[in-house]
Structure 1
Amino acid sequence: MSGLDRVLLALGALAGLLGVAASAAAAHLSGADSLKTAAQFLLFHAPAILALVALSATGTTHRPITRVAAWALVVGLVLFCGDLALRALRGTPLFPMAAPTGGFALMAGWLLAAAGALVPARRA
C-alpha cells in the first residue's frame, strides 16, 4: 500500500470522526439542519473512501481511476460539508459556490468509482 493510500485511509477515517462530531453538535443546536446534512454526508462517504482505497490496493478495481475517485470524494466532502458546517456554526460560507462545487466533486467521485469497477484492472 502506497503512502498516498495511507493518507486516503486516514482522511476517510477523519471524515467518519467529523461526521460523528457534527452529528452530536447538530443535536444540541437549534436550526442546525445544514450541519445535520454535513454530518450525514461525512458518515455516508467515510466508508466509501475506505472501501475504494481497499479495492484499489488489492487490485480489484482499476487502481488509478479508483484512487482518483477516492480523492474526488475527499475534495467534495471538504468543500460541501465544510461550507455547510461553516454556514451553520459561523454564519459565513467557505467561499462562493463551495457547496455546489463540492457536490459536483462528490458526484464525479461516484462516477469514477463506477468507472474504476468497469474498466478492467491491470494485472502484473
Structure 2
Amino acid sequence: MASIRSARPSRTLVVLAGLCGAVGVTLSALAAHRGGAFTGTAANFLLFHAAALLAIGLAAANRGLRLGALVLVFGLVFFCGDLISRDLLDDRLFPYAAPIGGTALIAGWLIVAISGLFRLQD
C-alpha cells in the first residue's frame, strides 16, 4: 500500500512568483510612463504567470507540476527578456530568444496539464 505524503510548498517557486509579480508591476508602470508595447506585453505575461507560479509553489503536489513551473520560468526569462530588450535597448536579447521563450511557455503549460493526468510522486 502506497503511503500518501503531504505536499510541501516550494519556497523557490513562491520566491520566483513574488519576483515575477514585482517585476511585472514595475514594467507596467514603466510601460505606462515611458511607453513601449513590448514592455507592456512582458509585464502582462509576468503578472499572470506570477499567480500561476504561486499556486504551483504552494500546491507543489508532484514533480510534474514543479517541472512545468520551472519550464515556465525559463520561458518567461527568454520571452519577456527579449521583449524588454527590444523596447529599452532597441535590440533583441539574442536571435530567436522570444520564440524559444514562447515555445518553453507552451511546453511548460503542457507539462502542467499532463501532471494533472499522471501523478509523479517524489
What range is the shorter-chain TM-score in? 0.7 to 0.9
Aligned to 1:17: 22
- Tell me if structure 2 keeps the 8 A contact 1:9–1:49: yes
Tell me if structure 2 keeps the 8 A contact 1:22–1:36: yes
Listed as ranges, the matches of 1:62-77 within 5 Å are 63-77=62-76
- The question of whether the paired residues in 2 share the 8 Å contact of 1:12 and 1:74 is answered with no
- The aligned residue for residue 112 of structure 1 is 111
Q: CA deviation at 1:55?
A: 1.9
TM-score by length of 1: 0.86
Q: Is the Cα contact below 8 Å between 1:68 and 1:112 reproduced in 2?
A: yes
Check the 8 A contact 1:72/1:106 in 2, yes or no: yes
Across the aligned residues of Structure 1 and Structure 2, the Cα RMSD in angstroms comes to 1.6
1:39-84 CA distances to partner (integer Å, 9 max, x unpaired)?
000011001011112222xx3xxx1111100101111110000110
What's 1:87 paired with?
Answer: 86
Q: Is the 8 A contact 1:52 1:113 kept in 2?
A: no
| Residues 27-46 of structure 1 deviation map (CA, whole Å, 9 limit, x = unaligned) | 0123x001110000001100
**Which amino acid in the other structure matches residue 115 of structure 1?**
I
Q: Residue in 2 aligned with 1:51?
A: 55
2:4 match: none
* Length, aligned pairs only: 115
Per the normalisation by structure 2, the TM-score is 0.88
Which stretches in structure 1 are left out of the alignment for 5+ residues? none
| Amino acid in structure 2 at the alignment position of 1:99 | A
Structure 1 runs of 4+ off > 4 angstroms? none
Q: Note if 1:29 corresponds to 2:34.
A: yes
Deviating more after overlay: 5-14 vs 113-122: 113-122
Q: Could you tell me whether the CA contact under 8 Å between 1:65 and 1:113 is conserved in 2?
A: yes
Deviation at 1:120, TM superposition (A): 3.2
Identity of aligned residues (%): 47
Tell me the distance in 2 between the aligned counterparts of 1:95 and 1:10: 27
